[in-house]
Amino acid sequence: TITPKKPNSALRKVARVRLTSGFEITAYIPGIGHNLQEHSVVLVRGGRVKDLP
C-alpha cells in the first residue's frame, strides 16, 4: 500500500511489476479486493493514477 500525495489521504493498493521489456513499474490495483499474489501474471493497462507519487 502507498499513501497518495497531498491533499488526499488513503492507502492505495499497488504492486511492483516487472515487465517483459525489463522495466520495473508500480502498478495500481483498482476495485475492491484482489487476489494477486507474488509471481502472479498481470495485464497492465496504460495511463496513470494522478495522486500516487
Model confidence band, residue 1 (pLDDT cutoffs 50, 70, 90): confident
Q: What pLDDT, on the 0 to 100 scale, is given for residue 53? A: 82
The predicted model gives 15-38 an average pLDDT of 94
Number of domains, the chain: 1
Kindly write down the DSSP assignment for every residue of 2-39, as one continuous string.
BPPPTT----B-EEEEE-TTS-EEEEE--SS-----TT
Domain limits for position 31:
1-53
Q: Using alpha carbons only, how large is the chain's radius of gyration in Å? A: 12
Model confidence band, residue 52 (pLDDT cutoffs 50, 70, 90): confident
Task: Say if CB 42 and CB 36 are below 8 A apart.
Answer: yes
Task: Please say whether the dihedral angle defined by the alpha carbons of residues 17, 20, 24 and 29, taken in this order, is positive or negative.
Answer: negative
